[in-house]
Structures are given as C-alpha cells and as structure tokens.
Structure 1
Amino acid sequence: MDLFEYQAKELFGRHGIPVPMGDVARSPEEARVIADELGVPVVIKAQVKTGGRGKAGGIRPAPGPAAAEEEAARVLGMEIKGHVAHAVLVEAATVPFEEYYAAFLVDRASGSFLAMVSAQGGMEIEELAARDPGALVRMPVDPVRGVDGEELAAKAGLPAAAAAVLERMWDLMVGEDALLVEVNPLICTTDQRIVALDGKVTLDGNAAFRHEREPAELTGSLEDRARAKGLNYVKLNGSVGVIGNGAGLVMSTLDVVAAAGADPANFLDIGGGAGAQVMADGLEIILSDPDVRSVLVNVFGGITTCDAVATGIVTALELLGERGRARPIVVRLDGNNAEIGRRILSDARHPAVRQIPTMDGAAELAARLAAGA
C-alpha cells in the first residue's frame, strides 16, 4: 500500500525523522488557516501517489496565508498522471544547503533488503543512476545486523549528521513492515540540520494485521476506483490499455506491447475466475483513463471462459455508450470457448472492436492504433 506524502511524514515523525512543520488541507480556506498558524512562507504540495508533481505544477511556493489560499485553489483538483489532488500538504518552506537521496527497499531480484544512498538528491533516481552510476551507493542490508548509519553515510559522501536519520529510516522500514522508505531530497539546511523534505513509503499489505492503522484514504483515482471494484490494477504512463486474465499473461502482454513500439497505460489482471461483470468493470476503468488511446484485451480462456469475457466486453460497451466508441479495442481470445466468444463479438458488430487471433498481431495493431496509424 502506497502512502501519501503527509502519511509518510506522519510515520517519519513517529520514528524521529525530522520533517518540516505542516498540515493537510482539503480546501483553500483550510490552507490559509494552516499557513497563518505556521507564520512563515509555505509550500503547497499536491497529495497524489505519483511522481512528477513539481514538473506538473503541483508544488507551489506561497509567501503568506493569502497566497497559500490562492495556490491551494490552483492545486486542489489538479490531475497528475491520472491522479487527482484531493488534498494538499501546507508545509513550512525550507531552504536546502545540500540535497541527498536515501532509500531502503526490498530488492526482489536478490531476495534481500537494499540501501541506496547518494550525495546527489532532488532528481529522479533513474536519471541519476543513468547519468552517473557511481554517484549512487547500493549496499545490501543484513536484517539481523541492521544498518550502520555512519558507515553508510561515509560511503555515500553524506555528512556525519545524516547517520542517525539513516538508521531511523531503517527502524521505520522494519517497525512498520515497509517495502520502501524513500526520501528525495533528504536535505542539509544552512544551520546543518538534516530534514526529510519529501517522503515515500510503501507498506506491506500482507503485514497489515500486525498494525493498527486507519483505512486507506480513497481519492477517486483510477487505482482507488479499481480497488473498490476488486480489480488488480496499476496505472502506468503509456497509451495502450491492457486487460488480461492472470498476472503472468498480463506481464507478457505488457512486454509484447513494448516490443511493438508502444508503452502500456496500465496493468489490469481480471483473474482466473472472473465473469462478465468483472470484465465490464475493468474495461470501464481503462476507458476512463484519458491517456489511453487504444485497448488490448488478451485472454486465454480457462476458468475464465472466452464467452464470458466477450459478454463482458459487449455489456461494458453498452453501458459506456459513446465513451465506448471513442477508442479502438483490440481483442485476442484463445482457449476455453474461444470460438463462442469470437462469435459473440462478431454478432455484436461494435464499431470499436477489432479481433486478432494472435497476441503479437493484437499488440502490433493496438500499438499502431494508439499512434494514430
């Protein structure tokens, strides 16, 4: 479960990780009150579970309460990569002297914990790793031994004052059953204080029974709407919507779409026993994404029969009306009751639906349609 920045910083506070003073506002008027109480220049930060907020205009400085109200009005309701900002963090503006990067995560490739620290922060870690691989220190973490903050800070070129914060980040990782704890940037102020200016935390949902936590806040995002329908959906940054049955098949479909020259817009697994309603729900979610320019439905019928999938597609398109006609839908059905499913789609004669018998061929057509070819 990904947390909003303000939720991550609440956990930071519990574990002794310094953060700027601030509070959450869900209206411009609340933002003004918080800024007035802080009594210093503030920053208005969109609360969305995605990156790129600064480039999208979701982080705005405000020198006083009136400006805070005005900037909050601009940010609230803003959509960033399919996520709508229903709240803002009103936070005391903090000027960095130096910026660093620090993260602890579960490294699935090695089956262990990994620390990643750099003396160069404030940019996307992928950009940093590509531009200057030597600037990012990667160190495996023994879960029994824990973290030696002084050793880690020294290797990465961080000041000694950062050592305690690194150790507290590890304490949060273990104590909260987190899969990721990231601060970018972790800053050193002009008076030599180490402060977490941003924060990302992903909690292990399988360990939720060990913790007393408030229910996840629903924001109206596509992922929240999908979760409410019981769908396994992840928003991505491409233009080809993808639906499949089974995580392995969906992952393979994402790879085939990429090989065809397009970027997938999402991961959506309708599962092994899904019926027509689940298929209809999944298609409705994907067609609600403005980034999607074509849809690829790739199903191998087993427990989920192809006729049930086809019925779900027809049902969804009937419910969506004109929205269902706006973007092309490429369907590849194979396996249990495939012939019946193909006949159902053919008989429906929906203008948005194209049927292709192979996965590669379907991906290539979806990629061309997304590109407008």
Structure 2
Amino acid sequence: MDLYEYQAKELFGRHGIPIPAGRVAATPQEARAIAAELGAPVVIKAQVKTGGRGKAGGIRTAPGPAAAEDEAGHVIGMDIKGHTAHRVLVETATVPFEEYYAAFLVDRAEGGFLAMVSAQGGMEIEELAATDPDAIVRVQIDPETGVDAETARQLAAKAGLPEAAAQVLERLWRVMVAEDAVLVEVNPLICTTDQRIVALDGKVTLDGNAAYRHSWEYAEPADSLEDRARAKGLNYVKLDGRVGVIGNGAGLVMSTLDVVAGAGAAPANFLDIGGGASAQVMADGLEIILADPDVRSVLVNVFGGITACDAVANGIVTALELLGERGLGRPIVVRLDGNNAEAGRRILSEARHPAVRQVPTMDGAAETAARLAAGA
C-alpha cells in the first residue's frame, strides 16, 4: 500500500522525524488559507503516487497566499504519468544546504532488510545507482537487532552524512518496524543552512497484510491508471516508456518488454490480460493503455491458447468503436499467433481501422511499434 507524500510525512512526524510545516489542500482556496497560516514562502506539491513531479510542473514555489492559490489552481487536476493530482501539499519552503538519500526496505532475496544511504540526494536513486553506484552505501540489517543509535551512527558516517543525521536514520527505522512498512524512503533528506536535518520528501509503502494490526485510513478514489485497471481486474503496472504493451500471460508480456527494449524503445507498461481473456477484457486493456498520455504507440502481442485470437481481435475492434476519435491518435501494432489466429487477422483486416497495423512476427511488431513511437 503506497502512501502519498503528506501521509508519509504524517507518519514521520508521529515518530519524531523533522518535516517542514504544512498541510494538504483539495482546493486553491484551501491552499491560500494554509499559506496565510504558515506566514512564509511555500511550496505547492502535487500529491500523486509516482515520481517525476518536478519535471512535470507538479512542484511550484509561491511567495505568499495569493500566489499559493494561483499555483495550486495549476497543479490540482494535473495529470502526471497517468495519475491525477486531486490534492496538493502546501508547506513552508525550506532551502537545503546539502541533500542526502536514505531508505530502508525489505530485501526479499536476502530474507531481511536493507539500508541504502547516500550523501548524494535529490536525484532519482536509479540514475545515481547507474552513474555512480559507489555513492550509495548498502548495508544488510539484521531483523533481530535492527537499527539502534550506534548502527545509525555507523550508517551516517559510512555514507558521509553529518552526525546529526544518525538520529533521523534511527527514527526512520522505527517507522519501518512500528508501521509494518516494506519501504521507507526520504529523497532528499536535507541539512539546512542552520544545520537542521529535515525530511523534505517522503515515500512509504505499507504491508497490506499487516492492516489488521493498524487503524490505517488511507483509502483513496480510483484515480490512477493502476487503480482503474485494478477495478477492471487487469494486471497492469505503469512504466516510464512510450510503447504500450498488451499480452496474454506474464511470461509473454515480460518477453515482449524485452523485445521492445531491444528494438530501441522503452515500454510504457506491463499489462497481462490473462490466459482466458474475453473480448471485453481486451477492450478494457486497450482503453487503459490509450488513457496514458505517455503512450505513443501500442503493441498487442497475443499467442492464442485458451485466449482465442478472434476474441482478441473482436476486443480491439470493440474498444476502438467505443473510443471513437480518441482511438485514432496513436498506432496499434498487432501480432496474433496460435489459436484462431487466421480468424483474428481476418476480423482486423475487415474492420479496416486506420490505427491498426498487423505484423506477423514478434520481433517485427516490436520494431514497428518502436519506430512509430519515435515518430518515424
């Protein structure tokens, strides 16, 4: 269960981790009132469960209440990677002197916990890991002993963080254990000009299996693509690429993602319609993918078994009929093979939809989708 930033920070505050003063607002008028109460320049931060808010314009500064209302009006309702910002966090603007990274997570491969700490924060940890992996200190945490004051001091020292950060690391571990989290992350954890350590951002994922031990009230409206897909019973994961992918069976979808990457493009999602998908399931899947503004082309890769290719083809035709003009903007590359493949190809050929392109091979379909996503 992923939390919004403001929810993560509420947990941080409960466990004594310093955070900027602020509150969440659902309207521009509420944002203005909060900024007036804070009496200082503020930051307006879109509350969505995805990264890339800053690059998308979802984090904005405001010198006063009127500007806060104006900026909140721009951010509320914004779509960021398929997530709609229904709320903003309005908090006191805090200028960092230095930025760090700190996280605790469940390490399933080792059957324990992993600490990740770096003196280089403020950037995506995946980018840092790729460009300078030695900048991240990784330490296995014994579940029996956990992180006490001495362990926290060692972590801070090894990563090059100031001694004052050790107390925050110890308290982040307390959040991990007390709240049954599988991930607790702060990026950036900052040192201010007056040497205070503050959690400027926060990401927490709770273990839903432990809900019976807590009084969590984190239910949210189904506003993300993942939520909408889940409501339709689809196995969907949003990714950061431009080629939407639909397949039947997790193995085939994973292989398709690899082939798309090999063709020089990045997949925009993982979507498995399952082994016995109906035309309606196919239509639902295509509707979800075409709702993603990042998608520039779609690759439907189906090997008919329990799922017959004619049902898939009917689903594509049905979805495009329902979408109308919304289904015209992006090309859909279809590769059908296996059970009733000829019938499925015939259905698509007879439909003559201008968005649909049929390619007989998996590699060829991936290359075509990649080229179309690049605008070639």
Structure 2-normalised TM-score?
Answer: 0.92
Let me know the Cα RMSD of the aligned residues: 2.0
The residue number in structure 2 matching 1:238 is: 241
Alignment gaps of 5+ in structure 2: none
Q: 2:319 aligns with which of 301, 316, 319?
A: 316
Q: Deviations over 1:244-292 (max 9, x none)?
A: 1222221111110010111111111112332211111110111122222
The residue number in structure 2 matching 1:151 is: 154
In the alignment, structure 1 residue 125 sits paired with structure 2 residue 125: yes
C-alpha distance in 1, partners of 2:7/2:235? 23
Q: Displacement of 1:240 after TM fit?
A: 1.0
Q: 2:171 aligns with which of 156, 168, 179?
A: 168
Q: 2:229 aligns with which of 215, 226, 231?
A: 226
The residue number in structure 1 matching 2:21 is: 21
Identify if the C-alpha distance between structure 1 residues 334 and 171 changes in structure 2 by more than 3 Å, giving closer, same or farther.
farther
C-alpha distance in 2, partners of 1:57/1:317? 32
C-alpha distance in 2, partners of 1:253/1:209? 38
User: Equivalent residue of 1:37, what SS?
Assistant: helix
In the alignment, structure 1 residue 291 sits paired with structure 2 residue 327: no
Q: Deviations over 1:8-52 (max 9, x none)?
A: 112212222221111111111000111112222211111122222
- Aligned-partner residue type, residue 366 of structure 1: A
Q: Return 295-304 or 341-350, whichever deviates more.
A: 341-350
C-alpha distance in 2, partners of 1:111/1:337? 45
The residue number in structure 1 matching 2:2 is: 2
In the alignment, structure 1 residue 248 sits paired with structure 2 residue 251: yes
Q: Is the 8 A contact 1:115 1:138 kept in 2?
A: yes
Identify if the C-alpha distance between structure 1 residues 350 and 67 changes in structure 2 by more than 3 Å, giving closer, same or farther.
closer
Q: 2:204 aligns with which of 179, 201, 208?
A: 201
C-alpha distance in 1, partners of 2:248/2:11? 36
Q: Displacement of 1:160 after TM fit?
A: 2.1
User: Equivalent residue of 2:18, what SS?
Assistant: coil
User: Equivalent residue of 1:192, what SS?
Assistant: coil
C-alpha distance in 2, partners of 1:215/1:303? 38
- Aligned-partner residue type, residue 161 of structure 1: A
Q: Return 242-251 or 255-264, whichever deviates more.
A: 242-251
- Aligned-partner residue type, residue 48 of structure 1: V
Q: Displacement of 1:2 after TM fit?
A: 2.2
Q: Deviations over 1:320-340 (max 9, x none)?
A: 112223222111222333333
- Percent identity, aligned pairs only, is 84
Identify if the C-alpha distance between structure 1 residues 14 and 300 changes in structure 2 by more than 3 Å, giving closer, same or farther.
farther
The residue number in structure 2 matching 1:58 is: 58
User: Equivalent residue of 2:106, what SS?
Assistant: strand
Alignment gaps of 5+ in structure 1: none
Instruction: Give the 5 Å matches for 1:1-373.
Output: 1-147=1-147, 148-218=151-221, 220-373=223-376
Q: Displacement of 1:71 after TM fit?
A: 1.7
Q: Displacement of 1:206 after TM fit?
A: 4.1
Q: Is the 8 A contact 2:113 2:142 kept in 1?
A: yes
User: Equivalent residue of 1:308, what SS?
Assistant: helix
Q: Displacement of 1:111 after TM fit?
A: 4.6
Q: Is the 8 A contact 2:289 2:295 kept in 1?
A: yes
Q: Deviations over 1:326-356 (max 9, x none)?
A: 2221112223333333333233232322222
C-alpha distance in 1, partners of 2:74/2:56? 12
Q: Is the 8 A contact 2:82 2:291 kept in 1?
A: no
Aligned length: 373
Q: Is the 8 A contact 1:84 1:219 kept in 2?
A: no
Q: Is the 8 A contact 2:81 2:293 kept in 1?
A: no
Q: Return 196-205 or 337-346, whichever deviates more.
A: 337-346
C-alpha distance in 2, partners of 1:368/1:236? 19
Q: Return 253-262 or 301-310, whichever deviates more.
A: 301-310
Q: Is the 8 A contact 1:242 1:264 kept in 2?
A: yes
- Aligned-partner residue type, residue 227 of structure 2: D
